[in-house]
Amino acid sequence: MSAIRKIGFIGIGNMGNPLAGHLLKKGFDVTVYDIRPEVVKAFVAQHGGTGAATLVDAAHGMDAVITMLPDDKVVRKVVLGEGSENCIAAGLARGAVVIDMSTCNPSATRSLAEALKPRGIEVVDAPVMGGVVFAKDATLDIMMGGEPALVERVRPVLQAMGRNLIPCGVTGTAHALKALANYVNACALINAIEAMTIGKRFGLDPKLMAEALIPMCAGRNHPIEKKVIPHILTRQYGTGMAMGFIAKDVKIAVETARSVGAFAPLGERVSELWSAAAEKLGPNLDQTQIARYWEESTGVRL
C-alpha cells in the first residue's frame, strides 16, 4: 500500500477548516470541497491548497478522502451519491481510502464500508475528541477504526491533525467509542445543571456549587470544569459545538445500545432531553445553552 499524499477534504466547517489547514502545513497535497462554495473560497485564500467545484473533482486522483460532515446520512450521500452522479465514489480509484472524521452511527459506517468494498475502497472511522480549540492547535485525540494495516497507512495523515491516536479495533469501533464518550459527557453536563438548579432554588450559589462539585465528584468532572464554569455561568456559550450534534451523538449511543441488546434506560432519557432542548432552543446553538432549557423550564437562573 502506497503512502497517502494527495487528499480530498470534504466539509470545511468549524472543525474541517483548521484540520485541512494542518494537512497543508504538514506538506500534504490538499483539495477541499464544501456544499457552501464561499467556504471553499475563504479556505483557499486563508490556507492555500486547491478548491474543488464538485465532489468528483475533490476525489479524482486522490489517495484518500477525508469527510468532516454533520452526520452519517450526509456522509453516505456525499460518498455514494444515493442517486446522484456527483459523489466521492465516482471519483476515487481502487486502493484509495475514505477517512470519516465526522461523528457517525457505527452501524452506518459498517454499511458504508460494505458498499465500498466491491470498488476496492476502504473506510477508516476517525472521529475526534476535543473541540474547535483543539482542532486549531492540532491537539485532538483521534480514535481509529479499521484493520491494523489500514490504520497504519492513515496514521501519518491523522498524526498531522492530532495529539493522541487511539486504535480502537475494526471499522465502526471508533465511531461507537466516540458516541459513548459523548454520551457520558452529555449525561454529566445535564446532571450538573439539574443539581445546580435545585441547589439555587434551595439558596445555594451556583458558582460555589460548581467549584465544590469538582473535588466532591470523582475528582475531576470535565463538563463542570470545561463547560459549566467558563461557558454557562459566564453566559458566554462559546465551545463551538452545536447542541444538535450532542443530541445526535447521544442518540447514536442509544441506538448502538439497542442494536446490541444492551440496557440503557438512563441513556434513553438523556437522549430525549437533549433532543427536546435542541428542538426547543435550536440545534445550532452552542451545546452549553442546554442550561437555558433548565432555566426556562424551572424559572431558576444559574
Q: Is the distance from CB of 57 to CB of 90 less than 8 angstroms? A: no
Contact with ligand NAD (CB under 6 A): which of 4, 7, 9, 10? 10
92 to each of 21, 33, 104, 119, 227, how far by Cα in Å? 22, 15, 22, 9, 41
Q: How far is CA 30 from the centre of its chain?
A: 21
Q: Is the distance from CB of 9 to CB of 32 less than 8 angstroms? A: yes
CB of 59 to ligand NAD, least distance (A): 12
In angstroms, rounded to a whole number, what is the distance separating the alpha carbons of residues 20 and 87?
19
Residue with cell string 435550536? 282
58, containing H or E segment? helix 55-59
From the list 77, 136, 178, 226, the catalytic residue is: 178
**Residue closer to ligand NAD (CB basis): 162 or 199:** 162
The question of whether 251 is a catalytic residue gets the answer no
- Does 12 bind ligand NAD (CB under 6 A)? Our answer is yes
Contact with ligand NAD (CB under 6 A): which of 43, 183, 245, 294? 245
- Does 285 bind ligand NAD (CB under 6 A)? Our answer is no
CB of 125 to ligand NAD, least distance (A): 11
Contact with ligand NAD (CB under 6 A): which of 103, 109, 221, 275? 103
Size of the site for ligand NAD (CB under 6 A): 25
CB of 122 to ligand NAD, least distance (A): 20
In angstroms, rounded to a whole number, what is the distance separating the alpha carbons of residues 244 and 264?
21
Contact with ligand NAD (CB under 6 A): which of 68, 158, 177, 196? 68
Contact with ligand NAD (CB under 6 A): which of 81, 167, 169, 240? 240
CB of 226 to ligand NAD, least distance (A): 11
- Does 161 bind ligand NAD (CB under 6 A)? Our answer is no
In angstroms, rounded to a whole number, what is the distance separating the alpha carbons of residues 217 and 282?
31
CB of 264 to ligand NAD, least distance (A): 20
Q: Is the distance from CB of 106 to CB of 179 less than 8 angstroms? A: yes
Q: How far is CA 77 from the centre of its chain?
A: 18
Residue in the shown chain whose Cβ atom is closest to ligand NAD: 13
Q: At 113, give phi and psi (nearest 5°).
A: -60, -40
In angstroms, rounded to a whole number, what is the distance separating the alpha carbons of residues 162 and 179?
19
Residues forming the active site: 178
Contacts to ligand NAD by CB under 6 A: 10-16, 34-36, 39, 68-71, 74, 78, 102-103, 128, 131-132, 240-241, 245
